[in-house]
Structure 1
Amino acid sequence: MRVGVGSRNPVKVAATEASLGDRFDATVESVAVESGVAEQPFGERETVAGAENRARRAFEAGYDLGVGLEGGVAEVPGTEGLYLVMWAAVTDGDRVGRGGGVRLRLPDAVAERVRAGEELGPVMDDVLGESNVARNQGAAGALTDGIVDREEALAGAVAGALGPFVTDHY
């Protein structure tokens, strides 16, 4: 089985490989596709749409399964602040599975900059004094001191999106 991940980000490919594990005899490949949403998705709806667009476009590039992963920020009803959110979508062209990942409240100083229009990745690079945080531990790893990193957080989202493809409960 060939699985296309709609991203050039190696963390997203690794998260997909980790989720598939030995359950599938799969070759996972990176596919450059557009998300069709803002560079910094805002809200659950836009973040889910980005994941679905990436999955569909990866599938349409000639794969058995298309996987899309999208990180965004969202306000969560009943809470204060702005949260990092992660969504995954998986499609075989007929079915679409969706799964959400870890949600982490962003520090107020980071949230203020994102609300002002900056992208989370570069803001985290600046705050941490590093580069390419999004291609490494991600905001999730930085904000949990490594308890969960970006790959693990995304892998959980992919695992949830795989539900319709691994059980008969859907």
Structure 2
Amino acid sequence: MRLAVGSGNPVKRRAVERAVETTVDAEVEAVPVDSGVSEQPRGREETVAGAKNRAANALAAGEYELGVGLEGGVAEIEGADGLFLIMWVAVTDGERVGLGSGPSFRLPDAIGDRVAAGEELGPVMDDVLGEDDVARKQGAAGALSAGVVDRDDALAAGVAAAMGPFVTERY
């Protein structure tokens, strides 16, 4: 099965490979596509829209059975204080769409305040950690969990959830 991941980020491709390695025989290809949302999606609705757009655009980019879109965003969560990192995944075959999400991480106030003021999370994490390209390495998830959950793991959980309609008969 050929899967297109709607991103050139190697972390997202690895997350898809990890999520499907025991369920389907898959060839996973990274296909940079437009998300159709802002660089820093805000709120669950925009983040889900970005994932869906990436999945559809990846599927349309070639001869693939499934398109996979992974989108990270930030959101306020009802009943919880602060700003959270959120991750949503969409998988489509052109007719059906499966959705899933990775874990959410509350951003420390010093980071959340900067993002709420309009900065993007990736560059803020680079600045706070004194590293380059954190989003292509451990991600904020790795930094905020002391490495217990890295970005690959967090996104793979969302991919596994979104793949449900395509790997089981339960849907």
Q: What's the TM-score once normalised by structure 1's chain length?
A: 0.99
Specify the alignment match of 1:40 in structure 2.
40
Q: Which amino acid aligns with 2:61?
A: A
Equivalent residue of 2:3, what SS? strand
Output the CA distance in 1 between the equivalents of 2:143 and 2:107.
Answer: 11
Superimposed CA distance per residue, residues 112-153 of structure 1 (whole angstroms, 9 cap, x where no aligned partner) = 100111000000000000000000000000000001000000
SS across alignment from 1:45: helix
> In the alignment, what sits opposite 1:97?
98
Superposed CA offset, 1:54-110 (max 9, x none): 000001112110000000000000000000000000001111000010100000010
SS of equivalent to 1:97: strand
Task: Quote the Cα distance in structure 2 between the aligned partners of 1:164 and 1:150.
Answer: 24
Q: Residue 158 of structure 1 corresponds to which residue in structure 2?
A: 159
- Distance in 2 between the 1:24 and 1:129 partners? 39
1:118 partner amino acid: E
How big is the shift at 1:24? 1.3
Q: Alpha-carbon deviation of 1:37?
A: 0.3
1:126-165 equivalences under 5 Å are 126-165=127-166
Structure 2 residue aligned with 1:19: 19
* Counterpart-to-counterpart distance in 2, 1:22 and 1:149: 20
Distance 1:25 1:112 in 2: 43
Partners of 1:145 and 1:109 in 2: how far apart?
A: 17
- Which structure 1 residue ranges, 5 or more long, are not aligned? none
Aligned length, in residue pairs: 170
* Distance (Å, rounded) in 1 between the aligned partners of 2:141 and 2:91: 22
Q: C-alpha distance in 2, partners of 1:74/1:124?
A: 16
Partner residue of 1:124? 125
- Alignment-derived partner of residue 75 in structure 1: 76
Instruction: Give, in whole Å, the separation in 2 of the partners of 1:108 and 1:82.
Output: 8
Gaps of 5+ in 2: none
Structure 1: distance between partners of 2:50 and 2:99? 12
The letter for the 2-side match of 1:146 is: G
RMSD, aligned α-carbons: 0.6
Identical positions, percent? 66
Three-state SS of the structure 2 residue aligned to 1:151 is helix
Where do 4+ consecutive residues of structure 1 move more than 3 Å?
Answer: none
Q: Distance in 2 between matches of 1:165 and 1:2?
A: 13
The structural deviation recorded for 1:22 is 3.2
